[in-house]
Amino acid sequence: MTTKGDGVTDGGGEDTPADAAGAVDAAGAVDAQGGPLVRLDGVSKHYGNVRALEGVTLEVHAGEISCVLGDNGAGKSTLIKIIAGLHRHDAGSFRIEGEETTLGSPREALDRGIATVYQDLAVVPLMPVWRNFFLGSEPTRGKGPFRRLDVPFMRATTHAELRRMGIDLRDVDQPIGTLSGGERQCVAIARAVYFGAKVLVLDEPTAALGVKQSGVVLKYVAAARDAGLGVVLITHNPHHAYLVGDRFVLLKRGVMAGSHTRDEITLDELTRQMAGGSELDDLRHELERAPAPAHLGGRATKSA
């Protein structure tokens, strides 16, 4: 599973362009211990004249969790779409295990070992759990016109794999839409782990979940990391990110606002930066001082 520093990766490290706008390159120090599974350098993406992403640098190592933090519209979705193969990047370099790549389709990304679990589109709600689990990579047996799904194997494996991750399913035949949001995320993660993904990209896995369910999902994220996968965790919740993350990349309006390893930053600082840093202070200032207008029952204009 691990890819210890091979020649290709080292070569990749040398010609890294340092033109990434404002990118804090925390990579150099880590290259020695093993090449990153995925490395983005100054990656940009434009939609027409809209700059969705500009000069983003990100590393994903085996057995580590790289968190991408940002507010709505910060470019998080664009970033994962590039990694997942849904969009092609316009500029910068995208390396998988040291090899320069442009992914043309999600299938290609999967074949390269990158599995993505989306917040809303992880599963097809009306299909049974076992069909969802193997969707896109269905095992078959038999030959020619009698090549068919290996249904008993699919059912049994789904049941076993989910139980291994601690999901005790009533019935693998139930439509996956009847599972809770957290369970659906976990099924998707279990699926990625089972199919031998090297890199797991999670899009806001805890966004729509309650505290307890979020905890369950984060536990599986950590389990995937311990299994040796490199994890990209996209979130706007710094508390969740700091619980499991090893590196943190902050995005703001399409550009990088910071890049830190865990030992460089505290939760408070991460939260502050995530919330907009000094902007948050200004906002607090305004909220405290702003007198309520008269029509809302305040006394702001009474004296006037």
Partner 1 sequence: MTATAPAPAPAPGADGADGTDERLLGRSPLRKLLGRPELGSVVGAIAVFVFFAFAADSFVRGSSLSTVLYASSTIGIMAVPVALLMIGGEFDLSAGVLVTSSALISSMFSYQMTANVWVGVGVSLLVTLAIGAFNGFMLTRTRLPSFIITLGTYLMLTGMNLGFTQLIDGTVSTKSIADMDGFDSARALFASRFTLGGVGFRITILWWLALVVVATWILLRTRAGNWIFAAGGSRDAARAVGVPVARTKIGLYMGVALGAWIVGQHLLFSYDAVQSGEGVGNELIYIIAAVIGGCLITGGYGSAVGSAIGALIFGMTSKGIVFAEWDPDWFKFFLGAMLLLATLLNAWVRKRAEATA
Between the alpha carbon of residue 47 and those of residues 136, 158, 199, 250, the distances in Å are 29, 39, 26, 21
* 3 state DSSP class of 239: helix
Q: How far is CA 190 from the centre of its chain?
A: 15
Which of the residues 212 through 231 are near partner 1 (CB under 8 A)? none
Q: How many residues bind partner 1 (CB under 8 A)?
A: 54
User: In angstroms, what is the minimal distance from the CB of 303 to partner 1?
Assistant: 53
Share in percent of the chain as helix, strand, coil (round to 5) = 40, 25, 40
What residues from 80 to 99 belong to the interface with partner 1 (CB under 8 A)? 84, 86
User: Which of the ranges 113-121, 215-223, 231-239, 265-273 carries the binding residues for partner 1, by CB under 8 A?
Assistant: 113-121
Q: How many CA atoms lie within 13 A of 5 on its CB side?
A: 9
Other residues' Cβ atoms within 10 Å of the Cβ of residue 24? 15
Does residue 104 touch partner 1 according to CB under 8 A?
no
Confirm or reject binding of residue 205 to partner 1 (CB under 8 A): no
Q: Determine the Cα–Cα distance for residues 60 and 291; give it in Å rounded to an integer.
A: 48
**Per-residue binder mask for partner 1 (CB under 8 A), 237-276, x = binder:** ----------------------------------------
Q: Could you tell me the smallest distance in angstroms from the CB atom of residue 265 to partner 1?
A: 32
Looking up tokens 């949001």, which residue turns up? Answer: 181
If the CB atoms of residues 138 and 268 are measured against partner 1, the closer one turns out to be 138
Decide if 42 contacts 54 (C-beta within 8 A): no
Q: Interface with partner 1 by CB under 8 A: which range of 180-188, 218-226, 232-240, 266-274?
A: 180-188
Rounded-to-integer distance, Cα 90 and Cα 36, Å? 22
The region of 9-17, 70-78, 126-134, 279-287 touching partner 1 under the rule CB under 8 A is 126-134
Rg of the chain, C-alpha, whole Å: 22
Specify the residue for token string 């993505």.
116
First to last CA, the chain: 72
Q: Measured from the CB of residue 5, what is the shortest distance to partner 1 in angstroms? A: 25
294 lines the binding site for partner 1 (CB under 8 A)? no
Q: Does 157 bind partner 1 (CB under 8 A)?
A: yes
Nearest to 65 by CA among 257, 266, 221: 221
Which is nearer to partner 1, 156 or 300 (by Cβ)? 156
Measured from the CB of residue 214, what is the shortest distance to partner 1 in angstroms? 16
Question: Could you list the residues that contact partner 1 (CB under 8 A)?
Answer: 84, 86, 105-107, 110, 116, 118, 121-127, 131, 134-140, 147-149, 151-153, 155-157, 159-161, 164, 168-175, 177-181, 183, 191, 194-196
